[in-house]
Amino acid sequence: MLAPPLASAWAHPSLELHHCRALKSGKVTPPRSRFTVTHQILWRSSVPIGARKKTRAHVIAPGKSPCSDSAATMRQNNSITQETQEGPRLRKYAWDTNEEYLFKAMVAFSMRKVPNRETTEISHVLLCNVTQRVSFWFVVTDPSKTHTLPAVEIQSAIRMNRNRINNAFFLNDQTLEFLRIPSTLAPPTDPPVPIWIIIFGVIFCIVIVATMLLILSGIQQHRRKNEGPSEMEDTEDKCENTITVENGIPCDPLDMKGGHINDAFMTEDERLTPL
Amino acid sequence: MEKARPLWATPLQFVFACISYAVGLGNVWRFPYLCQMYGGGSFLVPYIVMLIVEGMPLLYLELAVGQRMRQGSIGAWRTISPYLSGVGVASVVVSFFLSMYYNVINAWAFWYLFHSFQDPLPWSVCPVNGNRTGYDEECEKATSTQYFWYRKTLNISPSIQENGAVQWEPALCLILAWLLVYLCILRGTESTGKVVYFTASLPYCVLLIYLIRGLTLHGATNGLVYMFTPKMEQLANPKAWINAATQIFFSLGLGFGSLIAFASYNEPSNDCQKHAIIVSLLNSSTSIFASVVTFSIYGFKATFNYESCLNKVILLLTNSFDLEDGFLTASNLEQVKGYLASAYPSKYNEVFPQIKNCSLETELDTAVQGTGLAFIVYTEAIKNMEVSQLWSVLYFFMLLMLGIGSMLGNTAAILTPLTDSKAISSYLPKEAISGLVCFVNCAIGMVFTTEAGNYWFDIFNDYAATLSLLLIVLVETVAVCYLYGLRRFESDLRAMTGRKLSWYWKAMWAGVSPLLIVSLFVFYLSDYIMTGTLRYQAWDASEGQLVTKDYPPYALAIIGLLVASSTMCIPLVALGTFITRCLKRGDTVPGA
């Protein structure tokens, strides 16, 4: 039988309760956003913890921590930089108070970017229920520290600066998950001309050029071969003429040829030369 | 003046041409599947037996016929017996069907090759949906590699009845593929002889590189051990033997007339027995070599998926129970699950439906063949490798080389009889005939680039060549042994090559091989008849998986037409020759 998980040294009950109790007398507060750093790649929290928030009562009962409602749960996943071929070797993200401070600073920074919240201080951000999973809730109070800000506002502020927050911790959308804040997926880059058409065009042109060259050289060879036999045919025709002249009565052709040459010799030569 | 028949520049070109033709996509995507289905290592036993009993003799027969007759398939069989020129015509018809659909695979290989020059590879990520909050629905249901194949490459319709329009992207790739084939066959043996040096040797280089990479992948040994462990009981399964015989038969490309065409360009004194043995041995060893590579890739992919599955379960549990990071590992998963189930039963029951049972065996058991293996499973494995662009380019380049090599043989089978016939070659030069054949094939091949094109491709792939080839080779063997005469053929070969024909070849040609082919034929016919209606796998976009559907009547009619148009050539031409002879005899008798 395995022992239950050890109590973590990461939670600082005294610190959080002090802050959380300060809000005992708060007014009606809407549910806060819950933010979770999730474990690993490819996994989104579908744990219905967020659902709890929606139906919670707004009034903070005395003695009860307001963080029990909502807050972002930050769940820290092992950084994926340690993944090796043997499988992801999980490295624990060292979470301590300084990291908490950085987190609070990032949340405050995000809130300051919202138009009428420029005065948000780090002390206005409260973390509660920090677990060993590195999962916690957080709320942001207004400057008077009387009530917490609406979850929707915090969610939109964090969504605007998600990249900065991720980079501050060297994490990404998968390893630092905010529950209830879906990440905007980056669309794949679309170059103006699809790459494959460029490569297709190059290879197409090469093939066409090579085909044309081969066809043209084939035609040239064909023509050269045709000229060779056609020369042979001309001389053979002459042979034929003189032969027929020889066979027939040598009158007119002899006149045409200019008579004093012995046709027999002529035909012999002409018959032989083409070969 | 008689024009001398073009010859191969060296006998090596002939061997390379035969290897390039025989070693094709079937070695890569069909043999590993068969090996996996029929007992792993023990499948090699029926495979090698069939190689020796069926593959080598029939290959030698075809090469010998081609080299002796020195003509393409129609002329060769007409010389053996005028009634048998129908066999040659049937070979040409089957080759025509094959070249129509086979080049579409090259077009797909081009498509994937061109898309491999991107980062990230387009089949490794799903596209995002309209409002950028999630991935495309079809892609979510299926995997990204399946989505890329069925949606982006094929843009497949839900059934064969919905034809859709011609997709311009695969159509362009098909035109390019045909232009490339035309470039290679343009000058006949002069150009083909040079090209086959590359198409025969480059796939081996790539396979070797992949072997080294594959064996060093994490989890490769899982695949190799699982696949090659012999399951001896499969030896008693008749299907294993039948599939081994079929694989040898179709892998060597017998009966298409390509081997006859290639051998007809040989010197008469060429030692085709030696070449037949070399080619068949190389073909089979390439199959085994490719299956080692494939199984190591399978093992890698299965291990990767198994570990991802485990990690997802670990993540789910860690998040639900807020456990410490790193507490749950693969080794203690079961124990912790047990503990959580007992300690927090209600919460565990909530989470339980989402916990998947991860099993390495089920991942390894997925057996795929055909285009699914090449374009879905392999791409899935490649996208998880480092420098995946390089591996992708290499792999699709190898597929291209294998495909183009086989296409060269197919087109040679069609062109050689055409260029041999005086009627056609006196009108048109060789280049024009080749161009015409390529153009006609490309135009008809556009059917396979429509939205329902893949379904038609499957029809052609399954039915255009199978039965007809068996019949053609059977008639060939019987014709040579009994019509032409085995002794006459033997003395021809001895006069040609100077070597005596061994008793082994004679026994195989006359007895064993025809019997084997008849049994294969009977098996196929009974299989078709027993299954009743023919069915096909259609892609359901809403479910993201394949569903089985029945063929509509007109598709069945086309299947019947495909098979009939090649097989009926044999009796029809024989009948036609008989009638013309009778008429001629009738004409001459009164005159004499």
What percent of chain B has pLDDT above 90? Answer: 55
pLDDT of residue B534: 85
Q: In this predicted structure, which of A180-189, A228-237, B122-131, B439-448 has the lowest mean pLDDT?
A: A228-237
CA max distance for chain A: 145
> Residue A79 pairs with which residues in a beta bridge?
A91
A10 → chain B, closest CA residue: B324
Q: In angstroms, rounded to a whole number, what is the distance separating the alpha carbons of residues A25 and A241?
A: 131
Burial of A26 (0-12, 13-18, 19+ CB in 10 A): middle
Average pLDDT, integer, range A55-65: 31
Q: Which of A75, A135, A200 sits opposite B172 (nearest CB)?
A: A200
Q: Is the pLDDT of residue B397 over 50?
A: yes
| Cα–Cα distance, A2 to B337 (Å, whole number) | 11
Residue carrying the six token digits 């970017």: A113
Pairwise CA distance, residues B122 & B87, whole Å = 47
Q: A15 to each of A20, A100, A138, how far by Cα in Å?
A: 9, 12, 13
How far apart, in whole angstroms, are the C-alpha atoms of residue B378 and residue A80? Answer: 26
For the record, the structure tokens of B364 come out as: 């390894």
Structure confidence at residue A36 as a pLDDT band (50, 70, 90): very low
The predicted structure's pLDDT at residue A85: 38
pLDDT tens figures, B473-511? 999 999 999 999 999 999 999 999 888 889 999 999 999
- Which element (helix H / strand E) includes B498? none
At B423-482, the pLDDT tens digits run 888 888 888 999 999 999 999 999 999 999 999 999 999 888 888 999 999 999 999 999
pLDDT band per the 50, 70, 90 thresholds, residue A249: low
CA–CA dist B210, B200 (Å, integer): 17
Q: Using one digit for the tens of pLDDT, what is the confidence trace for B355-384?
A: 888 888 888 887 778 888 889 888 988 998
Q: Does A209 touch chain B (CB under 8 A)?
A: no
The shares of helix, strand and coil residues in chain A, as percent rounded to the nearest 5, are: 45, 10, 45
Binding-face residues of A in 83-142 toward B, CB within 8 A: 85-88, 90, 92-93, 131-135
Distance CA B532, CA B556 (A): 12
A221 touches chain B (CB under 8 A): no
Cα end-to-end span (Å), chain B:
34
**Is B434 in contact with B411 (CB distance < 8 Å)?**
yes
Query: What integer best gives the mean pLDDT of chain A?
Result: 63
Across the interface, whether the CB atoms of A185 and B429 are under 8 A apart is answered no
Determine which of A8, A34, A47, A135 to mutate to test the interface with B (most B C-beta atoms within 10 Å).
A47
Crossing angle of helices B388-420 and B168-185, in 10° steps, is 60
pLDDT at A63 over 60: no
Report pLDDT for B514. 92
Q: Which of B82, B411, B34, B54 is nearest to B254 (CA)?
A: B54
A142 vs B197, higher pLDDT: B197
By CB atoms closer than 10 A (0-12, 13-18, 19+), residue A1 is: exposed
Instruction: For chains A and B, count residue pairs whose Cβ atoms are closer than 8 Å.
Output: 123
Domain boundaries, chain A: 72-178
ipTM of model: 0.86
Q: At B205, list the tokens.
A: 């280089």
Distance CA B555, CA B226 (A): 40
Question: pLDDT for B123-134, tens place per residue?
Answer: 988 888 777 777
Highest mean pLDDT (candidates A104-108, B101-105, B188-192)? B101-105
- B422-427: list long-range contacts, CB under 8 Å, 24+ apart: none
Q: Is B520 annotated as belonging to a binding site? A: no
Rounded to two decimals, what is the model's pTM?
Answer: 0.79
Q: Strand pairing partners for B68?
A: none
Question: What's the average model confidence in pLDDT over B283-292?
Answer: 93
H or E stretch at B304: helix B272-321
Other beta carbons within 10 angstroms of residue A51's beta carbon come to 10
Residue A51 pLDDT more than 70? no
What residue of B is the nearest CA neighbor of A213?
Answer: B183
What SS3 class is residue B207?
helix
CB atoms within 10 A of CB A226: 10
Average pLDDT over chain B, rounded to an integer: 89
> Per mean pLDDT, which range of A57-71, A184-198, B123-137 is the poorest?
A57-71
Q: Which amino acid is at A31?
A: P
Average pLDDT over residues B10-38: 91
* B469 annotated as a binding-site residue: no
Q: Which residue has the higher pLDDT, A84 or B11?
A: B11
Question: Phi and psi for B186 in degrees, rounded to 5?
Answer: -50, -50
- Characterize the bridge pairing of strands B545-550 and B535-540: antiparallel
B106 Cβ contact list (under 8 Å, min separation 6): B177, B180, B181, B400, B403, B404, B407
Q: Number of H helices and number of E strands within chain B?
A: 30, 2
**Residues B89 and B75: beta-carbon distance below 8 Å:** no
